[in-house]
Amino acid sequence: MTRKQFDEAFSCFQLSEIISNTPSKRKTKQILETFSCSKNLDLQDFLHNKALTFEQNLRSRTYLYFDNETKEIAAYYTIAISVFFTDGISNDIIKLLDGYKDDVRTIPCFLIGQLGKSDKYERFKIGEYMLADALEVIDSSHRSLGGRFTLIDSVNNPKVLSFYKDNSFLAIESDKESESIKMIKPYFN
């Protein structure tokens, strides 16, 4: 699928827009429940049970891609301002990430907390467009505020890790047994 086809097939809305234009919380939850992801139930659970609360409490921003034909949620991503906890990370990596000190406990960062598509859209190769959109929003904040990196806690799956590496993310962990691997997209050289 090309970017043009993607933009013609899907419309993107911020969850806050849906909340503002929907008559009730119940109706908003019904809309969110049109998303299903059996491959990653955490993605599904977040959208069904946490995204609305996070949005209303200003903890994150969720962007929803609706199929223009079915009006169902095809995919989404969630971004936030966060902190990276340095426990277990070498001082060399900490200094690289912080840019200043090697003995800090936390480093502020941008976070892509969720990025996924519904089971019905598994055949569509749209991840790179969603990631590009998420990074565009983050890059705008980065230009205004600064910041050293964007963090993502990737599923520890070779195909998923390769996707993020192909999109300029670097693994900062290498635990092959872990369910997830922390990766960053640096804004420093």
Delimit the domains of the chain by residue range: 3-186
User: What homologous superfamily does CATH list for 3-186?
Assistant: Gcn5-related N-acetyltransferase (GNAT) (3.40.630.30)
pLDDT of residue 177: 82
Amino acid at the residue 33: E
Fill in the DSSP letter of residue 120.
Answer: G
Fill in the DSSP letter of residue 71.
Answer: -
What average pLDDT values come out for the chain (189 residues) when binned by 10 residues? 94 96 93 94 96 96 97 97 91 89 91 94 92 96 94 92 95 83 89
pLDDT of residue 102: 81
Q: Which two tokens stand for residue 108?
A: 């502020």
d(CA 109, CA 179): 22
pLDDT of residue 171: 92
Q: Following DSSP, what letter does each residue of 4-36 receive, concatenated?
A: HHHHHHEEEEEHHHHHHHSS-HHHHHHHHTT--
pLDDT of residue 37: 95
